[in-house]
Amino acid sequence: MNVFGEKKRSWRKGRKRGVSPIIATILLVAITVVLAAVLYVLISGLTTGPGNAPLGSHFGWGSPTNQSGITGCASAKFCYQIDIASVSSVSMSEITLGLHSATGASIALPSGGTTAITLNSTQGALLATYNPTTNSWTASGTFNGALSAGMSIRISGSGTGLLGDSLVAIGSGSYSGTVVSSAFP
């Protein structure tokens, strides 16, 4: 009897024993799923980035109200005021305005003539004027462009335009998305 041969054979038998094919497959699938989840988390952070924050989480406003008594608004004009309800770290230059009809179709903002779109302080002082043709704001005086709650956007013009329409704040620059006011009364 060969003592060394027996040990050699039992050593080989122990060495051939391994993980069953079913368990090996389950382990491979689990490792693949974990790696895919880690890769997804890493890449999803790169696509949204810090500069694409939803506008609605940083800027909100109230419903437009008919303000026939505001400065520059005669009885023959339409005059609306939309108060900024909340704002955080959004400047005037990052907000452009749009107008939607009652059906949701985009329509041109009133421009030129007697129509004025302004940004006013909580005390009613003129801070900036909006140009719908260029979609840009022009600051008045020493205003630095920082929006704050309580400021208001005022629209005034001749005729009865805007009835049933909605004003939309469109985020640009580092803010994405839109904030829609309810329809003009």
144 and 68 in a common domain: yes
Which percentage of the chain shows pLDDT scores above 70? 75
Q: State yes or no: pLDDT of 178 exceeds 90.
A: no
10 and 95 in a common domain: no
94 and 139 in a common domain: yes
Mean of the per-residue pLDDT values of the chain: 78
Identify the helix (H) or strand (E) that includes residue 117. strand 116-120
Give the burial string for 84-94 (b: 16+ CB within 10 Å, else e): beebeebebeb
Residue 112 confidence (pLDDT): 56
166 and 89 in a common domain: yes
pLDDT tens-digit map of 7-56: 555 555 555 566 788 888 999 999 999 999 998 888 876 655 455 677 77
Residue 31 confidence (pLDDT): 96
Q: State yes or no: pLDDT of 103 exceeds 60.
A: yes
pTM: 0.65
* Domain CATH number, residue 118: 2.60.40
173 and 87 in a common domain: yes
Residue 35 confidence (pLDDT): 96
Residue 33 confidence (pLDDT): 96
Which residue range forms the structural domain that includes residue 165? 53-180
pLDDT tens-digit map of 86-100: 888 888 888 888 888
Residue 29 confidence (pLDDT): 96
64 and 111 in a common domain: yes
Query: Average pLDDT, stretch 130-138?
Result: 84
Pairwise CA distance, residues 33 & 54, whole Å: 30
- Residue with token string 């080989």: 12
Residue 142 confidence (pLDDT): 83
44 and 80 in a common domain: no
127 and 162 in a common domain: yes
Residue 110 confidence (pLDDT): 65
Sign of the CA dihedral running 162, 145, 58, 49: positive
Q: Is 185 a domain residue?
A: no
33 and 98 in a common domain: no
122 and 68 in a common domain: yes
Overall domain count for the chain: 2
Q: Within a 10 A sphere around the Cβ of 12, how many other Cβ atoms?
A: 9
Residue 3 confidence (pLDDT): 54
Q: Which residue has the higher pLDDT, 73 or 127?
A: 127
